[in-house]
Amino acid sequence: MSTLKTVLVLCTGNSCRSQMGEAIINHDLAGLVRGISAGTRPQPKVADGAIAALKLAGLPTEGLHPKDVEAVMGDAIDLVVSVCDNAKETCPVFPRPVPRIHLPFHDPHG
Q: What is the pLDDT of residues 77-98, one digit of tens each?
A: 999 999 988 877 887 778 888 9
Q: Of 24, 59, 73, 91, which residue is the catalytic one?
A: 91
More confident residue, 106 or 8: 8
**Which stretch of DSSP H or E encloses residue 90?**
helix 85-90
Question: Model confidence at 106, in pLDDT bands (50, 70, 90)?
Answer: confident
pTM of the prediction?
0.91
**Interacting residues of 49 by C-beta distance below 8 A, sequence separation 6+:** 16, 108, 109
Residue 1 has pLDDT above 60, yes or no: no
Q: In whole numbers, what is the pLDDT of the chain averaged over residues?
A: 91
Amino acid in the structure at residue 67: K
The SS3 of residue 89 is: helix
Residue 88 has what DSSP assignment?
A: H
Count of other CB atoms within 10 angstroms of residue 105: 13
Q: Of 8, 9, 11, 69, which residue is the catalytic one?
A: 11
- In whole angstroms, what is the distance from residue 83 CA to residue 104 CA? 4
Domains identified in the chain and CATH numbers:
5-102 (3.40.50.2300)
- In whole angstroms, what is the distance from residue 44 CA to residue 30 CA? 27
- In whole angstroms, what is the distance from residue 11 CA to residue 19 CA? 9
Question: Model confidence at 109, in pLDDT bands (50, 70, 90)?
Answer: low
Q: Of 36, 84, 87, 88, which residue is the catalytic one?
A: 84
Question: Model confidence at 2, in pLDDT bands (50, 70, 90)?
Answer: low
16 among known catalytic residues:
no
